[in-house]
Amino acid sequence: MPIDIVVMKAVNAENDARAREVRTQLTERGILGLNFMSSPGSGKTSLLEETIKRLTGELRFAVIEGDVFTAMDAERIARHGVEVIQLNTEGSCHLTAHMILEVLPRLNLDGIDILAIENIGNLICPTSYDLGEHRRVACLSTAEGEDKVDKYPKLFSISDINLLTKADLAPHVNFDLDRVAAKLAALNTKAPVITTSVNTGEGLDAWSDWLRQGCREAAAR
């Protein structure tokens, strides 16, 4: 018997209005706003740490860390001498633009090139909430399995870049990087796909170039 599938979409006009406020504030300052989204443990904070280390002296970062509980990720970022705030949702599976608007005044954004927002680890809820970012960064780690692009397509189809993280683990977890990269490229023809590993440094030059280009565009707005 065919399965009855019901699709229901939430409309969130209030969040969108707050997101526009955030985006305006960032745009006026020439800051590139990034929203990092992916599963828990797929390597968002590790990538941010490695990126900050590599680009120190060239680009200045501020970071908003989203987690359900703990300040662990903010503590990791703070070790790199970067302005950071930890947002705890205490249960909610995503950040909202309202939360970002609330904490923005607490960050010193003078001279900042990139505001990186690490969303709650989750492939579903964050995709429905514009945070006021300019670009959405989606990560998929090899350890999660090849099927995640098919099972959770929305994130990878609305993103501005798709990063295949933990490339160094691919041979150990039966993950065909080329096959998944092709699948992502077909799903989202506008977003580049970059294979990365913070352990080997693979892909981090291309990722840094993508950030540099985004910053040039943000400064020219």
Ligand X SMILES: Nc1nc2c(ncn2[C@@H]2O[C@H](COP(=O)(O)OP(=O)(O)OP(=O)(O)O)[C@@H](O)[C@H]2O)c(=O)[nH]1
Contact footprint for ligand X (CB under 6 A): 38, 40-46, 73, 121, 165-166, 168-169, 197-199
Residue 24: name its binding partner from Mg ion, ligand X, none (Cβ under 5 to 8 Å by kind): none
Nearest partner of 130 among 153, 162, 100, judged by Cα: 100
Residue closer to ligand X, measured from CB, 20 or 69? 69
Residue closer to ligand X, measured from CB, 33 or 43? 43
Residue 78: name its binding partner from ligand X, Mg ion, none (Cβ under 5 to 8 Å by kind): none
| Other beta carbons less than 10 A from residue 76's beta carbon | 16
Residue 162: name its binding partner from ligand X, Mg ion, none (Cβ under 5 to 8 Å by kind): none
- Dihedral sign (CA 211, 80, 23, 99): positive
Residue 165: name its binding partner from Mg ion, ligand X, none (Cβ under 5 to 8 Å by kind): ligand X
Cα separation, 114 vs 201, in Å, equals 21
Residue 169: name its binding partner from ligand X, Mg ion, none (Cβ under 5 to 8 Å by kind): ligand X
Residue closer to ligand X, measured from CB, 62 or 198? 198
What is the DSSP secondary-structure string of 143-209? GG-TTHHHHSHHHHHH-SEEEEE-GGGGGGTT--HHHHHHHHHHH-TTS-EEE--TTT-TTHHHHHH
Give the shortest CB-45-to-Mg ion separation in angstroms. 3
Positions that interact with Mg ion (CB under 5 A): 44-45, 73
Alpha carbon distances (Å) from 71 to 3, 85, 184: 43, 9, 32
Give the shortest CB-84-to-Mg ion separation in angstroms. 12
Residue closer to ligand X, measured from CB, 45 or 188? 45
